[in-house]
Structure 1
Amino acid sequence: MNTTALVPYRDPARLLDERITDLLGRLTLAEKLGLLHQHQTPVPRLGLASFRTGTEALHGVAWLGPATVFPQAVGLAATWNPELVRAVGSAVGDEIRVFHQKDPGDVGLNVWAPVVNPLRDPRWGRNEEGFSEDPWLTGTMATAYGRGLTGDRPDYLKTAPTLKHFLAYNNETDRCETSSNLPPRVLYDYELPAFRAPIEAGAAVAMMPSYNLVNGRPAHLSPLINQVVREWTTDELLVVSDAGAPANLIEPQQYYPDGPSAYAAALLAGVDSFTQDDADAGPSVRHLEQAIARGLLQESDIDTAARHALAIRFRLGEFDPPELDPYRSLDPDLVNCPEHRLLAQDAARQSVVLLKNECHVLPLDDASTGLVAVIGPLGDKLYEDWYAGTLPYQVTAVDGLIERLGADRVEFCEGVDRITLRVAEADLRLAVGAEDELCVSAGEADEAALFDLFDWGGEAWALRSVRTGRHLTVTDDDRLVADQPGPNGWEVKQTFRLIRTSESTTLVQHLNSGRFLRAGETVTLTDRAQATAFLVEVVVDGTARSAELAARAEVAVVVVGNHPLVNGRETEDRAELDLPAAQERLVKAVHAANSRTVLVMSSSYPFSTCWAQQNLPAVLWSAHGGQEYGRALADVLFGDCDPSGRLPQTWYRSAADLPDLLDYDIVATDATYLYYRGTPLYPFGHGLSYTTYAYSDLEVSATSMPADGELRISCTVTNTGTRAGREVVQLYTHQQRSRVKQPLRQLRDFRRVALAPGESERVELALSAAELAFWDVTRDRPCVETARHSILIGRSCTDTRLTATVDVLGERIPVRQLTSRPLASITFDQYCAMTLISVAPDQGEATQSLDPGAWLAFDDIELPIGRFTCTARVSNEGTATGRLELRADDPLHGELLGQCDVVPTGPRHSWAEADFELTASQPPSTLYVVFSARGLGLETLGFAAVS
């Protein structure tokens, strides 16, 4: 190709940086501002088309019509198979390209996936969007998925993946107003690694900040974006805001008074693209123009953001001749093509986790198995979550088993009650009348007055009309109609709460509006005082009918779980971990009727299924598995493939085993498998096989290694059973002694091996000393400490088969010399009743007391006997003077070294200095700072000896 006549930005032979600089130089300021919105404005004179960020691609192409739907992200992680996950990402990338070819204006190639927030708490409403509670496994899977999305060409991107959501985002409750407390060790050792891995690997070229605040500062203003994240890559990184987040900086976060100041602060913090006001870029552009006019921004700041926006467009091939882009003209038939269907089946198959298997119930045998009863509300239905694609077809559990055994050997019962709602003390019932609208009918209950009742947990019930086969909902004009396929939409309007007011009467509350049903001449919504009391009359007992079927069957397969849009989804966290009560009753009744009961859970998150673990012979779990779920499940149930899924997060026995949902300090609260000291229901990494394995002949390449060294670890794994199987060999480590609290165990590597009966394989694993580093708060940097480490190899984080030790020759953390530099309050070792806050809108972090008597502890200090002066940088948002006390070795009874008053300093970000003297009669080993009142802030303490 002759490129001599091309302008520089159109010349693919030139360096990318040179091309971007040339194009920026040709754009006017107004044109550059038009690039800083989700819907970038075209520049026809230069051949720039419109460009849209934000195609959803979490586990398939979403919101654009039928496309291949793969298992949810947490299900993909349960495969513990990065190669498979990369293949899924590649298939999704291909399908996005095809949709883009058909509609380049509305289908952008910047995709908003994957989600890399570690799954710290299984109650998080968006649990299904993440990969794992372990940051390393999260980073590994995100890198694999991102590499699939980006393609395998170093010179062109297939799509441009965007990591979500930076940073410390695991709660939907008040998500735009809550602040996630991240002490430095939690930040650097737990939260950041999951983001770092795919960015360093080039598997993500963009990032999205989260809605929440972090240490008192909105995540969209985090200095970490420019100071830390962008240092992980030499490529230009695009940072896009979450939808509506720019406006949140004004309300409800009240961080800036108006749009220009908020937009300027976000852009200077590293946000390049504003997702606000849907497709209308006008308001965002005007805010930026006003910020420039007020001197809050310079044109060079706009150039920096525009450069980031243009960089991925160049890498996507937009400005190159079409024949050079390998992804420009993919086969339109790739969407839901046979290869992608097979891949979806394989992904669903590998994501199934066998949690328990006793009494030789599984695997089932095709030839000898008689009648199979498939029971449960998820037995013949697949559900889409909010970020799922549109299912092109459904293979349910019933479909998969009928396809395998034939219709004469499979019977299905949904297992839900069929009810009528009768007005108390009247012969009137709710019914579905003309135009599917809810009305009142007299006389005996007929089909129009019957409803199937679904319990989705969290006091959320759905009512499906028997006459229409559709769910009851409330329209925008407050009519009650039965015309919906089920719970759906951003605002789910198809769920109700049944509130018992006496032994026999019940009020029906519409969850979305909070109002109650009133049955008069018409059925309306009203307040509680005017609500109608109903008698819930069971016409068909779904549990009893299920038990009858189970008693006739040779084996019962009960399929339960969650509806992905109810009780645990974006905007809604769970309060508990229990199965919905009606589903729990169903499982118990079926097992009482047939001891050969297999529980199959299809869910977005873990449940606390303690009764099932104690009583049922077989239990399986998978995330919602996509279009091929039923075939995959049948393959596992009948042993065509060995269950190879492993849990990517801990299953707890109760929500009582978890800290507060809003407490992000996993170290202090003993959270996640890293620190949890209890006995979980199922541990991280757990998953059974239909065969058995022996581990032997552990070899470690050295008994010690330096801080920059690496180890080769190998062992022999043997299939000691009679069936072929796939094992996941997991390597964990534990640092035996340390200055700080260390994880009980931490995943470092794993390998998947496929073994025939009696076959052995030598498994090679790797460990570098750098992986053993943790954040040293005393020096604000990573540290590989001199210590002995346990090497643990096994089938889960608690099922260890082989152990060894290695001595790591690192460094010893020195004592804190308080007179050498100011002591930053956030470098505490322990704390009580403290929170983290921002010092200024753009930079700095400090601590603030939550209650009188709150304290900070700083271990291993060096403060000689004598007199010292101390300068404390403090704040006091209250109206009364408070006090700081410095004590030695105990916050209550330790020697009082010194104290100072903290006068009111004003609102947030107002600081002052307080000078005082202290005296140490004996050298303390731990310094305690004790706060006398709520709302006292401390940034630093500076010490100097009195000569």
Structure 2
Amino acid sequence: MTASPPPLHAPPPPPFRDPELPLDQRVNDLLSRLTTGERIALLHQFTPGVERLGIAPFRTGQEALHGVAWMGPATVFPQAVGLGATWNDDLVRRIGEAVSTEARTMRAGDDRVGLNLWAPTVNLLRHPLWGRNEEGYSEDPRLTSAIAVAYTRGLRGDHPHYWRTAPVLKHWLAHNNETLRDTSSSSVRPRVLHEYDLRAFRAAVEAGAVAGVMPAYNLVNGRPNHVSPYLREQLRTWTDHDLLVCSDAGAPSNLVDSEKYFDTHEEATAAALAAGVDSFTDHGTDASVITGRVQRAMKGGLLTESDIDTAVRRHLSVRFGLGEFDPGQGPYADPATYAFDTPAHRELAQEAAEQAVVLLKNDGLLPLREDTSIAVVGLLADECKTDWYSGTLIRRSTPLDGLRERFGADRVTFTEGVDRVRLKCAAGWLRVPDPAPGSGTDGPAQDAGAALDPALLTGRTDLAPLTCGPEPSEFALVDWGGGAWTLRAPDGRYLSVADDGFVRASADQPGGWVVQETFALVDHGDGYLIEHTGTGGYVSVAADGVRVADEPELFTVEFPERGEDAVARAAAQADVVIVVAGNDPHINGRETEDRVTLALPPHQERLWRAARAANPRTALALVSAYPYAVADAHDQLPALLWTAHGGQAAGTALARIIAGDVSPAGRLPQTWYATDADLPDLLDYDIIGSRQTYLYFDGTPLYPFGHGLGYSTFAYGDLVAAPEGELLRVAFTVTNTGPVAADEVAQLYTRAPRDAAGALALPHRQLAAHRRVHLAAGARCRVEFRLLLSELGFWDVRHDRWAVVPGAYEVLAGASSDDIRLTATVDIGGAPIAARPVRESGLTATAYDEQKGTEIVDRSRTSDDAVHAVDGGTGELLFHACDFGDGVCAVSVEVAGAGAVDLISGSTATTVTVPATGGVYDYARHTAGFTAAGVRDLRVRLRGHLRLAELTFTATADATATVDATATVTARRRETA
């Protein structure tokens, strides 16, 4: 037989395959070719292919916070908070380029690797006890947005039309707690919303390198983020680009299941789509649940095909931008652009790790001389930890590795400092069984960080369970704080609990979505119960081995050696001691778990104290995902350093800093407080009212925002600051006056005039710009910034707008928020902030200046906000400078619920009694007589279970005729109000 000849003229490709056509035309053509069912299928995270059109399956969501995660080996850069500590936009952009290039390269060999990257996290590090502190860049919105812009530009690539990868910002909005994270509500007043939380997202979106946004699990002002009106009212107004909004995992179902915000999943799904969620991450790879809900919502009239098409267009726009429908898949699919684990990427990882190190204190101990003998001690001294969003390390460097390589193995000794224990129960000593022939115990244990499925266990089930007998095993016992302990067998493996409940020495490291390697030692009279954190059961001895069960075993603990004793011996025999302390990112203080204290875990506190007692020449190197309160260490030790977990080159970088090969120039991206007493409640998001972050904190921090020392000194001079049209031009000179080449991070702050702001609470100072510069000894450079004058402003709740108060602004240049070297004053003109026009416009309840005992809640399920007293008690709102004109004689309150509203202004007080209106969204107006004139402050007190939305004032003479029969009017003198 002979093959049929090809057609003389092949049909032309459909318009959506033609890269010469405008994007909108291509998207519309492809959309027109899809059936309704095929369009609905595109709404799930795992979208199927459309074979008849030659369209491949697509998955939204590839984690890439500091390297490609969960897909096996990749270059691992420092944690995001460490990237924030570099204060280096250019460096972070180059890291983004490397990460996106590796994602493209990995995808070429594995189509599971996605190009829609869920990174970066731009949630502000408002509260240092947040478990996911490691994922954010800074507590400051400007620094956060600058680093986010840099990273997303690197991820996107520099082609004008095509995207190397498509980054998605996480997590919209005001999300800083793991405790009750899917049911708690962040009460965010308008000033905090506009000046703080929105600001970090906005600059990154406006820069044009963001493909989408992911809503957070929590609620804001009583409304789940997945039905947030801010997606429409704010986010989508910042760009003409079709942003893809991807839900967080499981969050669509939370709208009904945990949040109970809607009665049915069909209603919830329709509301999320209408609010702007375009891609639903729910029920894993099973798309049928979400598509079924959408279909039923359409059938019930809750959704239209137009609603579906709007979301699908956004989805397709991202895929077109990635080049998927182009011949050859676009320019970034060219194998010539691929790169993976290259020498350049390895050098970049080391550069980033070096720039992330912050020297907190140095009384001359550092850098160390070449001939120094060093004792390296501590629980993290020989560790290179990864976190939940890390890739699998191709290479690793611990502090011990780095110091031995740099100073010589003969000059560096090591003691971990763990407690050595033996555990005994009625059945005998707890012991690890000898390996059975063919058990595979010589092979590598499963790497928890490489697991794609969070449900996978880290335990190895091919090892025999622990037993009890006459001969003990000696375990390494570590207290990580917060009631989390680990036990490690003599061969270095951690005790872990598998699905069958047996306890085995089977894990290389703690890890997994539910960590199976942590235990709690519960004091119980003459011994201890060992509770397994992952299951809540207790370690018990059975005939077939040691397992976790409901019936606990009582153990006694014998200590052959305490960790501090071993540390003291090592410290006494060295010239200098480096104590490496910190956290394991998989243990307390991680996704799903907030910290409960700033304190260093007790075990590690004992270690540095023992080292210092044996050798005063002791430095504490903190390797952690978050700040600690280490005031005693600061007072007693000559040197302290901090770095986030620094990725694959962490140890080499730390050693080069300690040796003086590199002068440290990392700067703190968030305030380090001296004590837990300095912190507000974790769930208090009002940074103004509760005086949070360096912007408003009134106390003395342990280390201020922007702090960091080096091995050189820098002088600042010749500050010039002057308005130029809509810009403020600022320039000053930085000179390296020290003996070595070093980086300096020049920081520029501004301070608004207090006299023009009246009673408004404004930041002590706020970061306006920064630049990291490298200078040789004796060299100088001119640093220049141009700032938008509008950036000096604040959200004027009196008139619901952004405003810049006129007056004399301070321009502050220096080395940290607390180390200001130069100050200049700039006069900015403009109209003063007028009093609130309450007679003409009334008052929105959320537009208060101060509050006590209240929360902001949702006025309706879809839009607007109201205020209520917490738990139905008594709350108070204060409104400054209310202009009642030449007089009002009545007030009308729009409320839902039942209770009373008191209004107090000067010597006048009015109480409006509110009978039950029905449900929380059933609003009614109630009116009472109220007499006021001129400009004065107004206090509004809420009593009972009611929601206040608005107040309006009436000046007509017969207004009191409309007073409700239920309203009670009283008048009191000012001193009794």
- Give the TM-score band, short-chain normalised: over 0.9
C-alpha distance after superposition, 1:198-245 (max 9, x if no partner): 110012111000000000000000011012101111111000000000
What secondary structure, in the 3-state scheme, does the structure 2 residue paired with 1:747 have? strand
* 1:938 pairs with one of 939, 948, 951: 948
Report the counterpart of residue 698 of structure 1 in structure 2. Answer: 719
Q: Distance in 2 between matches of 1:624 and 1:790?
A: 37
Cα deviation for residue 642 of structure 1 reads 1.0
Amino acid paired to 1:494:
E
Q: Is residue 730 of structure 1 aligned with residue 742 of structure 2?
A: no
CA contact (8 A) 1:221 1:842 kept: yes
AA of the residue aligned to 2:762: Q
Q: What is the one-letter code of the residue matched to 1:553? A: A
Deviations 1:61-84 (A, max 9, x none): 001001000000000111111100
**2 CA distance for matches of 1:535 and 1:323?**
65
Alignment equivalent of 1:290, drawn from 279, 291, 296: 296
Specify the code of the residue in structure 2 equivalent to 1:929. V
Work out whether 1:307 is the aligned partner of 2:313: yes
1:859 aligns with 2:901: no
1:429 matched to 2:456? The reply is no
What residue is the counterpart of 1:127 in the other structure? 133
Alignment-mate amino acid for residue 245 of structure 1:
A
2 CA distance for matches of 1:646 and 1:852?
44
Q: In structure 2, what is the equivalent of residue 831 of structure 1? A: 851
Q: Is the 8 A contact 2:867 2:948 kept in 1?
A: yes
> 1:329-364 CA distances to partner (integer Å, 9 max, x unpaired)?
2566x2212111111011001101111111x21111
Evaluate the alpha carbon distance shift between residue 99 and residue 746 of structure 1 in structure 2; reply closer, same or farther with a 3 A threshold: same
1:222 is the counterpart of 2:228: yes
Provide the residue aligned with 1:349 in structure 2. 354
Q: 1:723-762 residue pairs with structure 2 within 5 A?
A: 723-737=740-754, 738-739=757-758, 740-762=760-782
Partner of 2:446: none
Which residue is equivalent to 1:363? 367
> What SS is found at the alignment partner of 1:859?
strand
Residue 16 of structure 2 is aligned with which of 9, 21, 25?
A: 9
Cα distance in 2 for residues equivalent to 1:235 and 1:363: 50
Deviation of the 1:7 alpha carbon: 2.6
Of 154, 163, 166, the match for 2:169: 163
2: CA distance, partners of 1:439 / 1:238? 50
- Residue 895 (1) aligns with residue 908 (2): yes
Pairwise CA distance, 1:558: 1.2
Contact 2:385 2:584 in 1 (8 A): yes
Q: Against the structure 1 CA distance between its residues 749 and 331, is the aligned structure 2 distance closer, same or farther, given a 3 Å change threshold?
A: closer
Aligned to 2:940: 929
Q: In the alignment, which residue of structure 2 is the partner of 1:74?
A: 81
Distance 2:677 2:396 in 1: 37
For residues 738 and 887 of structure 2, the distance between their equivalents in structure 1, rounded to whole angstroms, comes to: 71
Equivalent residues of 1:182, 1:214 under 8 A apart: yes
Post-superposition offset of 1:326: 3.2
Q: Which amino acid aligns with 1:27?
A: L
| 1:797 paired residue number | 817
Is the 8 Å Cα contact of residues 783 and 811 (structure 1) preserved in structure 2? Answer: no
SS of residue in 2 equivalent to 1:191: helix
Structure 1 pair 324/659, CA: closer, same or farther in 2 (3 Å)?
closer
CA contact (8 A) 1:497 1:510 kept: yes
1:622 partner letter: T
The Cα offsets for residues 756-810 of structure 1, whole Å up to 9 and x where unpaired, read as 2222222223333111121111111101111221111111000111111111112
Distance 1:444 1:46 in 2: 68
Q: Which residue of 2 aligns with 1:505?
A: 527
1:76-103 Cα offsets, whole Å, 9 max, x none, are 1111111000000000000100111112
Amino acid at match of 2:66: H
Once the 2 structures are TM-superposed, how far is the Cα of residue 609 of structure 1 from its aligned partner? 1.1
Structure 2 unaligned blocks of 5 or more = 1-8, 435-461, 958-977
Q: State the partner residue of 1:486.
A: 509
Q: Is the 8 A contact 1:144 1:203 kept in 2?
A: no
CA contact (8 A) 1:119 1:132 kept: yes
Q: Distance in 2 between matches of 1:444 and 1:237?
A: 64
**Counterparts in 2 of 1:436-835, with a 5 A limit?**
436-443=463-470, 445=472, 449-466=473-490, 468-502=491-525, 505-519=527-541, 521=543, 522-527=545-550, 530-700=551-721, 702=722, 705=723, 709-737=726-754, 738-739=757-758, 740-835=760-855
| TM-superposition CA deviations, 1:733-753 (whole Å, max 9, x none) | 111211421000100011222
What amino acid does structure 1 have at the position aligned with 2:718?
D
Aligned to 1:260: 266
C-alpha distance after superposition, 1:430-489 (max 9, x if no partner): 2222675454534453xxx211012211121100011x4211112112111111112110
Verify the 8 A CA contact 2:427 2:541 in the aligned structure 1: no
1:390 Cα deviation after fit: 0.6
Residue in structure 2 matched with residue 412 of structure 1 by the alignment? 414
Give the C-alpha shift of residue 585 in structure 1.
0.5
**Paired-residue identity, %:** 48
- Of 179, 191, 194 in structure 2, the residue corresponding to residue 185 of structure 1 is 191
In the superposition, relative to structure 1, how do residues 65 and 945 fare at CA in structure 2: closer, same or farther (>3 Å)? same
Q: Distance in 2 between matches of 1:321 and 1:478?
A: 53
Question: How far has the Cα of 1:867 moved from its partner?
Answer: 5.2
Q: Is the 8 A contact 1:431 1:438 kept in 2?
A: no
Residues 440 and 4 of structure 1: CA distance in aligned 2, closer, same or farther (over 3 Å): closer
The one-letter amino acid of 1:38's match is Q
TM-score by length of 2: 0.92
Distance, in Å, in 1 between the alignment partners of 2:742 and 2:566 is: 37
Change (3 A) 1:442 1:7: closer
Measure the CA separation in 2 of the matches of 1:565 and 1:859: 47
For residues 393 and 198 of structure 1, what CA distance do their matches in structure 2 show?
32
Mapped pair 1:375 → 2:377? yes
Letter in 1 for 2:153: R
C-alpha distance in 1 between matches for 2:183 and 2:711: 48
1:64 aligns to 2:71 (yes or no) = yes
Work out the CA distance in 2 between the residues paired with 1:895 and 1:942.
Answer: 17
Distance 1:729 1:331 in 2: 35
Number of residue equivalences: 917
Equivalence for 2:456: none
Letter of the 2:369 partner, please give it: D
- TM-score, normalised by the number of residues in structure 1: 0.95
Task: Work out which of the residue numbers 20, 28, 41 in structure 1 matches 2:27.
Answer: 20
Residue type of the partner of 2:483? E
SS at match of 1:157: coil
Report the CA distance between 1:868 and its aligned residue: 2.5
CA distance in structure 1 between the partners assigned to 2:571 and 2:162 by the alignment: 56
Matches of 2:572 and 2:741, distance apart in 1: 33
Partner Cα separation in structure 1 for residue 357 and residue 730 of structure 2 = 29
* Cα contact 1:397–1:633 (8 A) shared by 2: yes
Task: Decide whether the 8 Å contact of 1:823 with 1:940 is kept in 2.
Answer: yes
Answer yes or no: is 1:87 the counterpart of 2:94: yes
**Alpha-carbon deviation of 1:519?**
3.8
Q: Where does residue 175 of structure 1 map in the other structure?
A: 181
Counterpart residue number, 1:103: 110
Task: Indicate if the aligned counterparts of 1:888 and 1:924 stay in contact, CA closer than 8 A.
Answer: no
Structure 1, gaps ≥5 residues long: none
- Residue 103 of structure 2 aligns with an amino acid whose one-letter code is I
What is the rounded CA distance, in whole Å, between the counterparts of 2:563 and 2:873 in structure 1? 55
Alpha-carbon offset, residue 8 of structure 1: 2.0
1:274 pairs, out of 269, 274, 280, with 280
Report deviation, 1:323: 7.1
- Partner residue of 1:885 out of 887, 899, 902: 902
Q: Match for 1:160: what amino acid?
A: A
Secondary structure at the aligned position of 1:339 is classed as helix
Correspondence for 1:398 = 400
* C-alpha separation in 2, matches of 1:579 and 1:55: 34
Distance 2:427 2:843 in 1: 76
